[in-house]
Structures are given as structure tokens and as C-alpha cells.
Amino acid sequence: MARIYLDNAATSWPKPAAVYDAVDAYQRENGAPSGRSGYSEAVDANLVVEQARRGVAELIGERNPRQVIFTYGGTDSLNLAIRGVVRPGDHVVTTVCEHNSVLRPLRALADEAGVDVTYVPCDEAGFVSPQAVRDALRPNTRLVAVVHASNVTGAIQPIEDIGPLVRRHGALLLVDAAQSLGHVPIVVAESEIDLLAAPGHKGLLGPLGVGVLWIRPGIEERVQPLRYGGTGTQSEDEVQPEDVPERFEAGNRNVPGLAGLAAATAFLKKRSIAAVAAHHERLTARLLEAFRSIDGLSIHGPQTAERRTSVVSVTLDGYDPQELAALLEASHGVQCRAGLHCAPRMHAALGTTAGGGTLRLSAGAFTTDDEIDAAAAALREAAAVALR
């Protein structure tokens, strides 16, 4: 039975062949640390890191690659942005659509430092109103944290409308781009974003263990480091360097992961994010069209392929989502994710919590029409069994 992988919202697979080759070549032929020595392999390791930094910067329209900070994952990037910016007694605006990588740091700050958090609601399709975000702002609002695309509904939030409202207020806008960077075009300057966080292993098509945080030029001092230590620079000083990216990149970098990320960004640049986005939209439209003809199947989130990513969540009458996911893999080799997807407030807003969440299917850059059709056929068969 062929493996039909539709869990790209968790991590992309397969990766471009160049990613596997780059990781293997670094491990076998180089193996040196970055920023620690001056021999030839160490210099080459530095070049690998900077190639990855330039690659990410080019994808988001940033002219200065040094504004791209490397972390150890999307969660690490979000924690740096949130805990690095928010101070005791501050107010933060976020949404019910957020992942626990935002909700849990904010809850911890509320418990530890008296931070007040407002959760902006969404409509039945999963979209947040910019007006509602503006209405939630207070004089002491320091940060607005908004997920760009939901990992449950796929709904793409109107960041381009939210950004100017936050900028005029004087707060900082943090965008969680875990489900959008690499999937849809993002130009940070056009949306007045201040901080953009994402993992390297999802839409960016790199390996696990690498994350990115873009910091808008000029606000570096408003973000405190969370990790202090060796950077390979200013080693005579016990104080953390002030320059970016060194200010935020203490410790050895994950050079094997960054070698893979460099190759992945080169692949995306050649293929173009616009082409990837068109691929996702076409596959999503195909999947939604097929799902609409299945009796007992409910689609949660946007009902069309516009203003959404390829994340599609459904429930099917007669099935628990976990049971349905197990059935699809066992009978058809379709691999997807069931449950609450680390987004409890999103499921509460959708009314899917009591039923165990949803079944989530997420196409990737290498998903084919045949795989989409096979997944739809598998769900149609499951629905027919439930109706007997």
C-alpha cells in the first residue's frame, strides 16, 4: 500500500532532494562548528549559515540578512519574541486562533508577571476582524500576537490590515507564520510586521530543529535575549553582544539543519513561492470540491480555496476523529492528524472540542492530484460505511 502523506502542517515531507544532500554533505565532509574557529571547514560552516540567512531574508523581502535570527524551532522563536518583549504588568492582544506555542507563553506570563491578555474572537470561518483587534488595544498594550494562517482551519488572517493599526498604536506586531512562510508570499515591510516567527521544517521545507525569527530593523533593543553565552565574538566581554544576530544566537548553531535550510530556500527561490501557493490552492480546491459531495462530512473553516492554506479540517458523522485517522491509514495508507492540534481555543470557537477535535489533512509542495483524489475516495468510503 502506497504511503499518502497529508500531514504537512505538522512537518513537510518529502523534502527537496537537495536538502538531504546538503545535510549529508555537511555531516560527512565538514562537521565543523560555525563562528568558533578560523580553519577552512569552520569558514565553510560560517558560509553555510549565512547562505541560509540570506535565503530566508530573500523570501520575506528583507534586505539585511542579519535581521534574521536562527533558533531551534518555531516554538523557540515565538518564546523569544513574546518573553523578549513583554514586561510585567503589560497588556497583550492575541486571538482565539493561536497555537499553544503562543497561548502557553502568554499564560505563563499572566501567572508569573501579571500580564493581562485579551483574546480576540473569530467568525465561523476562522477569520479575525481587524476592527476587533483595534478595539482590544489599550494604552499599555505592548504586543499583538496573531497567527498568520490557522493550523486548524487554514484561514489566512488579514495581517496587511492589522499591521497599520498596531503600528499607529505604538505596540509591536508578532506574526506566527508557522503555516504560511513558504506556503504564501510574505513581504514583511508591506504588512508593517515587527516580528515574524516560523519553523524551518514546515513550509520552508528544511529539517527539524531549526527556527527563524525576523526582527524589524530598529527594534532590536526592545527584545531581550532569553539565552546568554558564547557567540564566537567579543569573547573578552562577559556581557552579551548587542549586535544582531549575535545578541540572540548564543551557543552552537544547528549547522546541519541550517545546511538543509539553505538548500531548501534555494529550492523555493527557484520554484517561487507564488508557484507553491498556486499549487496549494489548486489542490485545496480539488479536495474541498470532493468533500462537499460526501454525506455527513463537515468542513471547518473557509469553504473555498481563497484566503486559506492547504490545511483542511473535517469531521465525519459516526466517527471519532482519532478513529477515522486510524481507519484511513490502515485501509488506504492516508496519513493525517486528528485531535485538537495544540489549538484549544480555536476548537472551542469551532465547537469541535467535545467531539475530540477534527481530522486535519494538509497537502504539501510535493502532494499530487492522485493523492488528493485517493484521500477523498477514502473518506467517501468511510462515510458510506457509517451510513449502513
The confidence score (pLDDT) of residue 387 equals: 67
Q: What per-residue confidence (pLDDT) applies to 234?
A: 81
The closest alpha carbon to 6, from 329, 274, 243, 349, belongs to: 329
CATH superfamily for 272-387 is: Aspartate Aminotransferase, domain 1 (3.90.1150.10)
**pLDDT for the residue 324:** 98
Own/partner pairs, 35-44, CB within 8 angstroms, 24+ separation? 35/231, 35/232, 35/233, 35/253, 36/230, 36/232, 36/252
Specify whether 97 is catalytic.
no
User: Residue 300 burial (CB < 10 Å; 0-12/13-18/19+)?
Assistant: buried
The reply to whether the predicted model has a pTM over 0.85 is yes
* Catalytic entry in 97, 122, 336, 342: 342
CA–CA gap between residue 323 and residue 341 (Å, rounded): 16
Tell me the CA end-to-end span of the chain in Å, nearest whole number. 26
Q: Domain 17-271 belongs to what architecture?
A: 3-Layer(aba) Sandwich (3.40)
Asked whether 98 and 105 are in contact (CB, 8 A), the reply is: no
Contact 145, 92 (CB under 8 A): yes
Residue with cell 476562522: 126
17-271 and 272-387 in the same fold: no
Residue 150 and residue 176 in contact, taking contact as beta carbons nearer than 8 Å: no
Please answer whether residues 195 and 215 qualify as being in contact, where contact means their C-beta atoms are separated by less than 8 angstroms. Answer: yes
Task: Please report the pLDDT score of residue 278 as a whole number.
Answer: 98
Predicted confidence at residue 237, as pLDDT, reads 85
Mean pLDDT by 10 residues, the chain (388 residues): 96 98 98 89 95 98 97 98 98 98 98 98 98 98 98 98 97 98 94 96 98 97 94 84 93 96 98 98 98 97 97 97 98 98 98 98 98 98 84
pLDDT given for residue 388 in this prediction: 62
| Measured torsion, CA atoms of residues 23, 25, 28, 29, in degrees rounded to the nearest 10 | -130
Q: How far apart are alpha carbons 166 and 168 in whole angstroms? A: 6
What are the extents of the domains in the chain?
17-271, 272-387
pLDDT at 191: 86
